[in-house]
A and B are shown apart, each in its own frame.
Chain A
Amino acid sequence: MQAAFFGVIAFLSILSAILMVMNRNPVRSALFLVANFALLAVLYLTLAAQFIAAVEIIVYAGAIMVLFLFVLMLLSLGASHALRERGGLQPLVAIILGLIFLASLSAAGAIGTLGPGQATPQWVKNGGTVKAIGTALFDPRLPWLFPFEVTSILLLVAVVGAIVLAKRRV
């Protein structure tokens, strides 16, 4: 039952990803990407990671992709003048880089060697909750507080940079 569910969701998410890349119409592409994010959130849910699933939808499907769509619609890239990229070298390079990525992943032991692991049912039940993630991020005894704060400063710098770039002419 769970394996079948995973199979269906995984198939649909890969299908939506492929459709997103193959589609000529940028608006439809973006909508397929939204569908893909929603399906990924379902996969997170099956792994008992409720917080990550909710954040995936809020941040990616709800905010970032909607802004993408917004810009696409304001630019009004209709089907009539859809993007027409000439093939060229890009697909070839993409395939080669993808294979290199896959090879490095399997060399690092991320593919094929993932066994049952140390996760107990209790750990899985509590691992995905907001409390567990908050404790992991903000507990000073754990190593993740500093990278988290540094990342937030990085995002702040990006926001300031965006305002500086956009407001230059005003």
Chain B
Amino acid sequence: MSVAHSGSADARRSGQFVGVIFVFIVLLVIAAVIGHLTLPGLAPVWHFLGAHPILNALVKAVVYVSFIALLVLFLIWWERKFAGWLQARLGPKHVGPQGMLQTLADALKLITKEDITPAVADRPLFYLAPFVVFVPTVLTFMVLPLGPHWIAQDLNVALLYVIAISSMTATGIMAAGWGSNNKYSLLGGVRAVAQLLSYEVPMVMAVLSVVTFVGGLSMRHIIDYQAQNGWLILKWPLIPAFLIFLIAALAELNRTPFDLPEAESELVSGFHTEYSGMRFAFFFLAEFANNFFSAGFAVALFFGGYLGPILPGIVWFILKTFVLITLMMWIRWTVPRLRIDQMMGLCWKLLVPLSLVVFILAAAWASR
């Protein structure tokens, strides 16, 4: 009886998983169609928008912010489905097909919720902090090459720009932890910033070893190099560089082996303990957008970005990025949390020396 029951549950679970894959493929096809869409009637409009510098920037900003919002809705749903699959349960399934609209419902709930401000909070900091965290996240998307023609602005210092802008998030997290005027928030904020600053070092060294190969800091330069010489992950000194980058990215995203800043058992939920409603939603949005960006950045640096046969570039890019994000989720739902001294020790005693060695190896290999 119980065997038969579990068998049917297994069948239902695999049915669900097939459904999820199907939905994902449909979304990819839609992305491909949009990527190839050219509406002849709209050409003068596109031309006008493209030529005017301020309008151009505004349109790009609107497109990117809506892209990020939709992406995060999808990512949260995928994370819950994937977590459910790993933990032998179903995940969201009631709102919309395969529970796809569950996140939308949650977002609506967050928007309509009461926005509570603690009486002792430092108000300006408390109000500003979620946006100081969210805005740099959006700004980093500016240099992400989504496809051959899908890059908002290719700077000649793109990699430095990413490092600079993403380090600004630390200020926002600190402001949130301080502004909440709550000891758990403060401790969470302090932990988050210590983690961000420490793991920035091996991450930058890993990115620098890519730069020694490519000889340029612009994203287009990196992709062009990979178009001629194959994916950078295939150069052997860059395999450890990628692993270091992945670990550092997991730490900077505060994902589970490194989720000490929001460790529920110790700190309630860290620097966003006091936040509710829309402001909490912004933290959440920034976290998932950052997750996509880190994975996309790794894809552009190590896995050839949008390069790939037959399918259009943006589909390749999103496919590769989703594989990497799923890997990150897999790690998240498998590995237990580190202790704070283990986390700092891992960074400063293992990753930093290792990344220096990798950097020297990469420089030697690249300048043969």
- A residues within 8 Å of B by Cβ? 27-28, 31, 34, 38, 41, 50-51, 53-55, 57-58, 61-63, 65-67, 69-70, 73-74, 76, 78-79, 129-130
Contacts and interface: CB of A to CB of B under 8 A. Distances in A.
B157 A130 contact: yes
Interface string B155-199: 111001101110110110011011001000010011001100100
22 contacts: A27-B122, A28-B125, A34-B171, A38-B168, A51-B157, A54-B157, A54-B160, A54-B161, A54-B163, A58-B164, A61-B171, A62-B200, A63-B200, A66-B170, A66-B171, A69-B174, A70-B194, A73-B177, A76-B186, A78-B181, A130-B160, A130-B217
Nearest to A52: B157
| Interface magnitude class on chain B | 20 to 34
Given A50-B156, A74-B190, A130-B157, A58 B175 contact: no
Contacts of A129: 156-157
Contacts of A62: 163-164, 167-168, 170, 200
Contact of A73 (B124, B160, B163, B190): B190
B168 A73 contact: no
Contact of B167 (A51, A53, A61, A76): A61
Given A34-B171, A50-B161, 16 more contacts: A28-B122, A28-B124, A54-B161, A57-B165, A57-B167, A61-B164, A62-B163, A62-B164, A62-B200, A63-B167, A66-B167, A66-B171, A66-B174, A69-B171, A69-B178, A130-B217
Nearest to B155: A50
Where chain B touches its partner, the secondary structure class is helix
Interface in B124-168: 124-125, 155-157, 160-161, 163-165, 167-168
A144 B197 CA distance: 30
A134 to B, nearest CB: 11
A31 B125 contact: yes
B93 to A, nearest CB: 43
A70 B178 CA distance: 10
A125 B34 CA distance: 36
Contact of A58 (B124, B167, B174, B190): B167
Contacts of B164: 41, 53-55, 57-58, 61-62
A73 B186 contact: yes
